[in-house]
Structures are given as C-alpha cells and as structure tokens.
Structure 1
Amino acid sequence: MKRILVIDESEVVRETLALILGREFSVVKRLLGTAGFSLADTGADVDLMILGVNPGLRSEAGKLLRFAAQVPCAVLFLVDSRSATKLIEERETVGCLAKPFNPYELKQKVGTLLARTAVLPRAQPLPVNRNNQLASRYLTFPFLTRTAACLVHRFASTRLPVLISGEIGCGQERVIRGMRATAEDAVPYFFVNAAEIDGDYLAEKHAQLSWQSGHAASFFAVEDIDKLPVSGQSALLNFIQELDSAPLNCRVLATSKVDLLERVYQGDFLEGLYYRIATLTLKLPPLRDRRDDIPAIVDWFAHHYSHLLELDEVTFSVSAKEQLCNYLWFGNLNEMETVVARTLALRRKSKIEAADLVFDFSDAIGPQQLSDFERLISAEESELATAGGVRSWRSPRKSPTDAPSQVNGNGKGAELKVLIHELAHEMKNPMVTIKTFAQLLGDRYQDENFRERFQEVVGGDIERMDDLLEVMIEFADFSQPNVNRVSLEERLRSSVDEVGSECAKRQAFVRWQGNEFGQPILADEGQLAYILKNVLLAILSQVKMGSEVNIDVAGQGTAVISYSREGARMASITQYLGSPSEGTGESILPLRLMLAKQLVERNGGGMAIDSSDSEKEILRMEFPIA
C-alpha cells in the first residue's frame, strides 16, 4: 500500500485528508514545524507528501519548488486560493491544489502524482560534495596558522557549535567546508546566508533536515551571521532550540566578519543566540599579521593552480615573494589566491618574477593592444642589433651634431608609444594601492596599525611617483647637447657617490676596475650626469641584495657595468604584454634606462645590454672620443 504523509497546521485539514485517502492509502499525519515531523518516524519510505502552505509562504514559490526537488518523494502543495496555484509551476513530481477542494479533484491529483513517480527514478537526497581531500586541505598549514589548524582539528571531532570569525577573505567558509569533509560519512550539508533568514525560510530548512534525519549527522552552516537582523536573530535562536530538542543530530556552524561579542555588548546582537553558537570559537588572523607565513602560502596556492592550469611546477622568485610580503592584503587569503591564480594563468611561466605579478586585472593587455605592440616591435627590429644573447640598442658612433631630431620619424613615434606604456606601468601599481587605502580610510582610521601602514605604503608610493615625474620633467627640459670635453670616469665616480644611499638600501658595494683615466669624451655634461645617475639607479633597483657592482672605464670612451640580478627586469613592458619576443633575447628597456638611452644616442653614443648569463647582466655605454 502506498504511503502518504500529510503535513498541515489545521487539524481539520489533516483529518479530512485522512478520511478521504485512508481507504486506498496508508496516511500519516504531522503538524508542520513540530519536532515530531520526521520521515524516520513513518517506519518506511513515503511515496507522496501533501504539504499545507501558509498564506505567508505564497511569495516563496521558488523555495517551495527547490524543497520539492530535494525530498525523495512526490509533493502536493495545498494553497489557500486558486490564484496561488499559478505561483507554483507543476512538474512531474510536484502538484498544487487550492482550498477548498472536492474529494474527486484531490484523488485525481494524488493518483496522477503517484502514477508519475512509479515510472520515474526515485529522487536522491541533497547532493553531497565528496571531494573530502580537496576540502580538508583548508584545515592545514599554511592556509591556517599552525595554532588555528591544531584547534580546528579538535573542534571537528566534536558535535558542539562553532563560531569562526575573521576579516573579509580570511577563509571562514572554507574552514567550515573542511570541517564537514572530515566527517566519517557523506552527510547532508546546509549552507545559508544570514541575510536570507526569516521564519518561513527556517521552517523550510527544518523540513529538509527532518527528511534527512536518517543520516548519522548533518551540518547547518550560517554565513555572515553578523548581518542577521534582529527579527532573524530571534527566529534563528528558536530554530536552534528546536534542533536541540528534536532527534535530528544536526551541528550548527557560523561565520562572522566582526567581533560578535562586541555587538552583544552594544545591544546589536542577541545574547542568547551568541552563547548558543559560540560554544567553540576560532578567530582567523588577517594576512598582515601573518607576514612570515606569506612565502609558504604563495607556494601552496602556486602548487594547486599549477596543476589546475596544467603547468609545470611554478616557483616565485625572492623578489616576487618580497613584493607579496610587502603588499597590504585587504582581501586577505581570497585576494592572494586571486593574484596567484591570475598571474599563473596570464604568464604561464615556470618562474614568476616581481614584474610578472598581476595585482589588478586591468593590467592585463587585450588582444588589440598586444597586436599594436607586436607591430611596434616589428617597426623597431631594424634598430635592434642582436648577436647571441646580446640585446643591443647601440647606434654607430657619430658626432653629437649628426644626431637626428627626436621629434620626427616613425621610429621615434614608436619609441614614444613604448615610453608612454612604461610610464603608465610605473604609475599604475602605486595608484591602485593609494586608491585602495583611500577607500578603507573611513572604516579603519581608528586602527593604529592601519594608520602606520597607510603612512608607510602611501608615503613611499607618492614619493616614487613624484620621483618618476621629476625624471620625466628633467628629460623633457633637455635640448640639443652642448658638447664639451668631459672625463667619463670622473663623472661616473661622482654619480656613484650621488646614489650612495640607494647602494646602502640594497647593501651593494661598487668595485672599480682599471686605475688609469681614459681619454676625455665629447658630451653634454648635464645630460651625461642624468644618464649615469639613472643608469645606476635602474641597476640598483635590480641588483641582488648584498652583491657587488663592477664598473670598468679602462676602454676609450667606454663604460662597462656588470652586476648580478635579483630577478627579471622589474619594469620590462614585455613582461606585462606577454610579447613573443620574451625568451628570444629581446625586450624593451625599463623607464630610466630608456630615457638614458635616448640621451646617449643624442650625444652620438650607443648602449648595449648582454643578458646571456641567466644571473649576471652587463651594460655597456660608448661615447664619442674627444
């Protein structure tokens, strides 16, 4: 005999249905919302559920249909009027009947639904994610601190409620999924957003939990419980109390992005609810308090996404990790994961340098821009003298008076485009950082650590942009060279003294080779000073920490500077465009070197860079001899 479960608040409706259907079917009656409503109590599977819908639930038609799709039997909804039947779409195992109804109409609906279920496969319980190994990795170091990882494993072995708090992006929701993955069996899992909670919503969830009561346990997780309105707080407290009093074996977990106890003291959060959900508490620290863990976290994300993107194992250079450690992660783990995944997807390299990092997706170059850049490279190929691993921007030695005009010709127009790209890149990252700080200033100004970090980072970025603008303005003020006899070595030593503070920051020291002063060169003394200073500053921005810079001016009119690089060129535009020239020995100069190169050529000289050695770079400048 087919079994029918009747659930309605009205005893009259329940008894009437039992009398009409009782001769043909086995009818079980339950009161909606009580602890007695459980599929397990029927002693066998139910073939049809008849559910009375309150007038207040008519606006929740979508939720009713989702509920019907999750239960393992056909469902017939009883609504308060015929107009309400139009709100619920009838399906193979879902029907709708308006009150008052006649017995013949009721039997017709019941017979149709039972006939359909006889030829359709039985619906399965709520889908369960069985990829436990993937989810449980979020309970380990380095995703969590070692202390938090130890605590969460202890919490996972209990049945007590857990409140997991932390700033935005600290991984609260993933920790909950990881805790559920540690369960011995695949169990039902309900993840709800606090903003959706009201009495009707919780009644629906209570019904779903009742249908799943045959399982050993279930999880009910509330996301962003701090956003729960006062009315929803009372409803949730009553819901949890019902779960405790009913044999549903359901564990309650919750996440929060604020200090809920402080909300309790302020009168904004229900004290009884707080102590119900905060039996066990786990606070996840922000990344700014985990700076020592950041290199390990980066490697952890890189390992995961290198496999996901079908790449060889990807590593991050020392300079890249240093930049990641110095970034203030407003989105914490979520933001870092996004940056790592985005960088790997766009760069597709086995080693990521600092210049490769993509913090803002707007840094990525679209197909049209890439095509423009490829045409730009092709236009400049005639000017690039490449021999083996030597990337050369070298012009034939000529008199400064023979130097071409810098404002005419297609080649110079192309160089201007590259110059604009470089300047935009140099300015982009500091501006993004300052904009982000400005957006958070109102909310976090009272945070002393935030104010100190704001002053440090924003002050440094503004100083950097100001310095770049000064470099550009000074370059723009130069006219045709006023050539004089100048001692290259004497001018170079003076420039080394001028950048002494930058040498100290990088803990680098200069080693001079050759003791004889060479023959004087012909150059504009002011422009030569600008060239040498910016060449040295560009080198010091890339030199390996604590290494030496070798300078040799023994050749006639030639200066050779060699040094060990920390990583790839920090400002190479090809790194950001993904140009095909990358890896073939050709690239565009960083901004300071690009401007210096322009002035070297304007003074009749040339510049070449040999990067054939993967760790060492040699820069060579030549000037006309007096």
Structure 2
Amino acid sequence: MHSERKKILVVDDEPGVRDSLTLLLKGNYDVITAEDGEEAIGQVAELQPDVVILDLILPKVDGIEALKSIRKSNPSIPIVILSATNTVKSAVQALKCGAVDYISKPFDVEELKQVIESALSSSPDNGSQTNRAESLPRKPVLPEYSGDFGPMIGKAPSMKELFSKIKHIAKCDTTVLISGESGTGKELVARLIHSESERSGAPFIPINCSAIPETLIESELFGHEKGAFTTAVGRRVGHFELADGGTLFLDEIGELSLQVQVKLLRFLQEQEFYRVGSTVPRRVDVRVVAATNRNLEEAIKEGRFREDLYYRLNVIGLKLPPLRDRFEDIPYLAEFFVEKFSSSYKGRKLQFSQEAMNRLVEYNWPGNVRELENVVESLMALSTKDLIEESDLPEKIVSNNHISDLASETVSGRIRFEEAERRFETEIILKALRKTNYVQTRAAELLGISRRILKYKMDKLNISDKPPQHQKAE
C-alpha cells in the first residue's frame, strides 16, 4: 500500500515552511523537500513526484526558472505555486508559465489540501509518473508549416485582402470583432493579429465562451476570491489577469449572458474589473479580440446581445469568407494538409485525380476549412491508395455532385431553368422527408418553410406524402 502513496515535493528556502508542510501532509503523502530551485530540479528528475509545491523566491535558481525547467523536462507533473502576498504578480506570471494553481502565504490548511487534491486529479493516475506519461494516448506533434500568411493558405482575392487587413489591424491597439462561419479560421486570425502586433512577446489567452457553463464563465474571465461562492476554496486568477500585457481572445462571444456582457462592457470602457467576491477594482493592460459565428445584429434585435457592447467590440470588424466562396483555394489547402499530416502517417504523400479534385471544389463545405482538413486526414489514415479517385471520397462529397451537374446542364442549354428548378426542389424536399421519416412538420422546419408551403410544393411536384415502401404496399 505504501508504494501507492503519492509523492509531494515541497520546495521552499525556509526550513519552517518545509517542516510545517511535511507535518501537514505526511499522513496522506510521501513528502520530499528541497531548499532551492537547483535541488528541486534534481529531485524531480530523480524521484518523479506526483505534485510539486514550489516557492517563487528561492536561492541559486529562482522559482520561475525552476518552474520552466521542470515543465520542459516533465510537462505532466502539476506544479502549485507558494506565493507571498507581495508576489501575486509573480504568481500570475507562474500560471502563464504552466503552474496549475497557487496558494498565498500564510496558507489555509484546508485550502492547501483542496489545491493538492485538485492538482492530483488533473494529472493521470496510474502508477509512477514515468508510467503514467507513457500510458497517455498522444497525438503526434505536427511540424508547423508556413502558408501564404503565417499558417493560413489563401490565394483568392478575398483572402489576400484579409491578410492585408490583418497586417494593418495588428498595429492598431484596439478591439477587433471577427465574424465568420464555424471552421473558417477565426482563432487563427486572432493569433495572427497578436503575433503581428507589439504585444507578440506577451501571452495570447484564448477562451471559448460557449464551452464554459454560464455559472462559471464570470469566474473564468475575471477570477474570484476565496469564499466568493460555495466551491471557491481559494483565490483564482481569471483570464483577464493571465492575459495582462497581451491579447485575450473571446471565441463565441455571442454566447455570453447579459449579466457577463455588462461586466465585459465595463472593462472595455474603464479597463478595470472586479474579481467575483471582491470590492477592489483591478486594472490590466489587455487587448480584446472577439469572434462569433452568429449574427450579432439579429441578436441585438432579439434582446440577447447588448448594442453598446457590440459597438465597443466592433471598433474594427473582420468578416472571414466561407470556403465555398473561395473555392480556388481548395486544391492548395488539400495539398497543404497532405504535407501537414505526412509525418504522422509515415511520410505518405497523397495525390488527387482531376475528377476527385473537381468534386472537392464543387462541394459546399458547410464545415469550411476545418471540414476539409478532417477529410484529408481521414483519407491519409484510411485510404490504401496514394492516388485518391472520386470513388475514394466520402459519400457526402460524391453525392453532392448532382446539383453541380444540374447547373452544368442548365448553363450548357441542355435543360431549361424551370426544369432544373423543378429537379432541385424535388431532390431537396425528398431529402428532408427521408431525414424526418416523412413527418411533414419536421421536414418543413428543416427546410425553413411552413408546412402549408411544403404541402403545396409536394402536390405541385407530385411528391407522395408516404415513404416508398408504403406506396408499394398500397
């Protein structure tokens, strides 16, 4: 049983602190101690502790440098910072460098235990650290490839215009609102704005507003004080403080509640905020870049988004084109993704036949560049051939060709426009009916029309209101 106890490395130059922590923790953990950063780095390499409790002010090698060294050699070991009240700014810097949490001196015993338990639960738990790290499924680290502008590919006129705007916007230290469909590369653009700006040496902190429960988003953004709510066992630094000096990227900004929108608006107006549970305003130097795939102007009309916040965010607006509107980039993107994933699949270099590439170009790409990337990686992983033919492509892409063929027939004069329209409406209504098991109300909702209009079109196009098998039975 003893071998299963977790190992805690306590690093502090004060013997009293090391002794106190050893006394508090030895009942549940095996405690190792180090009195300076140099010794701590050696202890980590030799003994592979499960958690490191690290003071910031240390002799020989200071806490920040020790943290960086440990993170570089043992990235899976969680590190908790011990911070005196006058070193909170350094604690924030430590969090930016990879520490999982920090506690202030003099520390509360229950808070300390809670932080350690949380750190342990955030790391894999099956045996020694070496074994745990080896047991984790790891996605291969992909090399970074240069595109036409940073990692972005774009030869279409709309993309060249976008790249020019990014270069200009990066130099203007004001808020930016990026809009575009899912998968168009909004975070990539935000990172490019940051990397091209004078803030490039400071942190870029992204947060997806739609991925965090409404009850937690305020705490994630602004931080909280100990006791601010039931589970607030310690002080927490929010994303605004983590991004101090750099850029905070708020993805899916349209998902924020009206209550949080008010607090974000206050920050943009005053450049200050309050941690949850605090009455002390805090000031940070942060550039906010926001993104959305929603129509915020419609959300304003519906009362779901504040108009004043919209104008504060939309000082500079960038709209990203969907992939279907820059189809000339598809061959270059496909080639780029083949190159990107090649090292992960033993150097494979896929090529596309002209027919296959035509289908890729003709496809509507509702998931945009992200969907194309997934298709290419899927082909890299699953295809047994290095030359991809039309038949090797996913069914959704191959079956999409009917509409393109219809357009070709119409433009070439082989069929009249009215006939093409009739065929298109017939196909799309039948697809909606099949998808909803011929429940007309649901099919109408799917098509965005009323049931009455759907029924009118079905009668006009002689489409049965029953599935084919029922027709045969009759």
TM-score (norm 2): 0.49
| Greater Rg over alpha carbons, structure | 1
